[in-house]
Structure formats: structure tokens, C-alpha cells
Amino acid sequence: MKSLQGKIAIVTGASRSGGIGSAICLALAEAGADVFFTHYRAFDHLEGNGEEPEWPDILCEKMKQLGVRSNHMEVDLSDPEMPIAMLEQIEKTLGTPSILINNATYELRADFRSLNNAILDNHYKVNNSGTIFLSLEFAKRFEQVYPGQKDGRIIFLVSGGPDPTNLAYIATKGMLIAITEPLAVALAPIGITVNSLNPGPTDSGWMDEELKKQFIPLFPMGRVGTPQDAANVLTFLASDESGWMTGQHLKSDGGYLGK
């Protein structure tokens, strides 16, 4: 039996074929989960790593061909009304989810000279406010629909390190790391585990060949991370086998030396 058979999962931020979000979706579907995913083309077009307008439909069909149900919607997590609207849509199409993987992120590089209120606020609205309130609303609905069950999962994709050119991104991801443990304690009584995962530098479309050459010596494993590396760990964290692991900030970065 597949490890996630019969589960309903949310994956935020699956806009591109080479992204971590898409790899997570396919890995969960292969494990038997029905998957609802989100995307936001406006960010990919203006500030992300490239727009693939047809990809969400393609990804959805790929998962259906694996024998699971799938649906998706355009989501701007900076909109404070979006968490409720999104969960209502999921419940209409697939049912109440028990797995939430917070992969969607806002990132715009800024150092101490260029960082301003607008840049920091844009990071906060998506990486913190939108992500956290989606998680809280998810937990409230899980508690109502699945009383007594112990298979709820919330996972935050996070980052860190000493990069001085990415202050707002690292700071807001740090807030997700900080909330992981107290939120895990709060939600344990209703059967939800909460963990955060830092996959390290991952070749999800932003690395050119020159960057890869710079990164490879910093990986003892001799290669850079791939989206599938992150998806493999996240599939375990979403499964019943991870039920005794909660409140943890995990690194799965191939021993990356660029701390």
C-alpha cells in the first residue's frame, strides 16, 4: 500500500516544471495522496525564475495519470482573505486536507543599502503572514473534521545562512523556523505535527552553469541539491512514519559547507 493512500495534501508554490513545489506534488501523488497545489504567475513573470503558464494544467494531469485526484488555483498569499478562500475551494473539490506543505515564497534580493520597508513588507506578507494564517486555518478545519486522528502534518520550507544580499528573505524564513516549535506544541493535542525543512541551495531554475561551478565544491556529496532531494524528505515528513517527529528544524542539504 502506498504510504499516503487516501490522504489529501496541499502544496503551495508549484508554478514551474523544475521547481521544488512541482517535485513535491509528484512525489506525494506517487505515494498515493490527492494533491491540491497553488501557483502565482504574476510573481514568476515579474520577479521569479521564469513564467510557465501552461505548467499548472500539465502538472495536474500528470498527477491524475498516477491515479490520484488533483486540482489547483492561482493564489496570492499576500491577500489576507486568501487562506480561507483557498481552503474552501479545496474542500469543494477534494475534501478537507490533512497535509500542508508551505513551499510558496517571496524573494527579492536586498542588502543593507537597498532594503526598505516595501521590500520587507512584501516578504512578510507572503512568507510570514500568509503562510502562518493558512497554517492556522488548516489546523482549525483539521480539528473539526478529523477529531481524534493523529496524522495531520504542517511543514515549512525554510532557508538561512550568512548571505548579506538576501536579508529580507532570510529574516522572514527565520520567523518560520522560530514558530515551528511553539506551533508544534500547540497543535500536538489535535494530532498535527509541525516541522521545518531547509533543503540548502537547490537547482530549481535559478542556477546557471557558472553558479553551479561555484556551489559544487561546497557540497561534500559532489553535486548540488535537486528538487527531488527535497521532495523525498518531505514525502517522509508527510507520512505516518514521521508521526513521532514534531517541532523540529531539519536540514537536508547534502552537508553543504557554505554556512
Residue with cell 486522528: 149
C-alpha 125/C-alpha 194 separation (Å) is: 21
Residue 53, classed as helix, strand or coil, is coil
Q: Is 28 within 8 Å of 155 (Cβ atoms)?
A: no
Please indicate whether residue 106 is annotated as part of the active site: no
Which spans in the chain are helix H? 20-30, 41-46, 55-65, 82-93, 117-123, 131-145, 167-187, 209-215, 227-238
Looking from the CA of 20 toward its CB, the CA atoms found within 13 Å total 27
Distance, first Cα to last Cα, the chain: 40
Chain centre distance of CA 64: 21
Query: Parallel, antiparallel, or unpaired: how do β-strands 70-74 and 34-39 relate?
Result: parallel
Which of 40, 124, 146, 169 is an active site residue?
169
C-alpha 228/C-alpha 210 separation (Å) is: 22
* Enzyme catalytic residues: 169
